[in-house]
Amino acid sequence: MTMIELNQAGRTFKVKRRTVHAVRDLTFTVAPGEFVGYLGPNGAGKSTTIKMLCGILTPSSGTVRVAGLDPSRRRTTLARHIGVVFGQRTTLWWDLPLKDSFELIRLLYKVDRKVFAERLAELTATLDLGPFMSTPVRQLSLGQRMRGDLAAALLHAPEVLVLDEPTIGLDVVSKAGIREFLARINAERGTTVLLTTHDLGDIERLCRRVMLIDHGRLAFDGTLDDLMASAPGLSSIEEVVTHLYTAGR
């Protein structure tokens, strides 16, 4: 059983008569319960991959499956199985208090009132949302907003969580809190997590497996230990990743 499956997936964009290959021949699988780091330099194709996983973008070639579904054709059904957080953007309603955004999500996903209340209570406690539950989203700090977005992505209890830079711009304490929360969700609920980040501390703390994409192609797929062993003589993850990003340029 696989939770995420890409088979020679590719995506091109036409820019001024030129074809940009954002993602090429991408083949990998992610099993249920895995916590995978998805790394790559700017412009490597990470966001394009994530958009194909959510069904926002249709692959130009190959196939993509998430929870057994073709995301671009079954986007509504897939929404029940997947949670997505884009660190740079919020999915919450800007002018509404956080709790009203959550209630709208309950209605959208048709979650039973009692089940929802239990989940929300648990997420409120683990993410410490209580102090700003009645605050409009636009007035939240970045760290508070991110915690709100994570709760919003998990209220319908998806099996797979896709995170695009969830710790961007956060201070060390907020980052540690988010990392602890994600580790817990993965361990306790068995949620499959695909994490894109430029913060290698996120990767070190959370991911056993790392995939690295460069120029739209998979350049590395292995454990964090394999990654460290791939560049003998280099001792920090920063050095190893810099080496991989600059190799072949």
Ligand X SMILES: Nc1ncnc2c1ncn2[C@@H]1O[C@H](COP(=O)(O)OP(=O)(O)OP(=O)(O)O)[C@@H](O)[C@H]1O
Instruction: List residues near ligand X by CB under 6 A.
Output: 13, 15, 20, 22, 40, 42-48
Nearer to ligand X, 21 or 99 (CB): 21
Nearer to ligand X, 123 or 162 (CB): 162
What's the closest the beta carbon of residue 48 comes to ligand X, in angstroms? 3
Nearer to ligand X, 144 or 167 (CB): 167
What's the closest the beta carbon of residue 189 comes to ligand X, in angstroms? 27
Contact 36, 227 (CB under 8 A): no
Nearer to ligand X, 13 or 94 (CB): 13
What's the closest the beta carbon of residue 210 comes to ligand X, in angstroms? 15
| Residue of 79, 59, 57, 35 lying closest to 196 (CA atoms) | 35
Letter string b/e over residues 17-47, b meaning 16 or more CB atoms within 10 A of that residue's CB: eeeebbbbebebebeeebbbbbbbbeebbbb
Cβ neighbours, 10 Å, residue 165: 18
For residue 87, give the DSSP letter: T
> CA 58 to CA 72: how far, in whole Å?
6
What's the closest the beta carbon of residue 148 comes to ligand X, in angstroms? 22
Nearer to ligand X, 28 or 102 (CB): 28
Q: Which residues contact 182 (CB under 8 A, 6 or more apart)?
A: 35, 150, 163, 166, 193, 195, 206
What's the closest the beta carbon of residue 66 comes to ligand X, in angstroms? 17
> CA 34 to CA 66: how far, in whole Å?
14
- Here the tokens at position 223 are 């454990």
Nearer to ligand X, 47 or 90 (CB): 47
- Here the tokens at position 118 are 């239990």
What's the closest the beta carbon of residue 86 comes to ligand X, in angstroms? 10
